Amino acid sequence: MKKSFILTACFALVAFAACEKPYEYPTYEEEELPALELFSPAADTTIELDSVDEVVFAWTDLEDVNSYKIIFSLSEDMSNPKEFAAPNNPMRVKSSTMDEFIAQFGLAYEATGTFYWSVAIWGNRETEAGVNKITFKRKKEVIIPYEERIAE
């Protein structure tokens, strides 16, 4: 009798757990997508990386979001993008870090290039965000003489 009761209880517990619905992530209709407005750098800004210590990126903060990514492209349709994590808003990026990042697009030292940037929520959650045009002038190449390099 006791064994039968334990088996019945176990069966009921397994049946209850098996019937539980899996968690469904919220979905947004197209018009409900959270919108991100880009504040800084403003559209059509030119930044000479040799003349600033940092570049500040800022956008609308969304509720329940703690991590974003900043996306860069050479084209306004944001094709072939490169991105980096943006755990803070505003996101402060050292000019040397920004210079190394845009070098990935093939821009030579001291050259000027036009980019497009936007922001997205880190992960798979969809958002609607604007795209701002920005122009960067890369830093001068720093050449350290051989003697100084081997002395370190």
70-108 pLDDT per residue, tens: 999 999 999 999 999 999 999 999 999 999 999 999 999
Distance CA 118, CA 132 (A): 7
**Tens digit of pLDDT for each residue in 28-53?**
555 466 788 999 999 999 999 999 99
Distance CA 69, CA 148 (A): 38
Distance CA 137, CA 108 (A): 9
Q: What is the per-residue pLDDT for 36? A: 87
Q: What is the per-residue pLDDT for 127? A: 74
Please check the confidence at residue 9 and state whether its pLDDT lies above 70: no
Distance CA 84, CA 97 (A): 11
Distance CA 39, CA 51 (A): 21
Tell how strand 45-48 and strand 132-137 pair up: parallel
N- to C-terminal Cα separation, the chain: 82
Q: What is the per-residue pLDDT for 148? A: 72
Assign 21 a pLDDT band (cuts: 50, 70, 90). Answer: low
Higher pLDDT, 128 or 85: 85
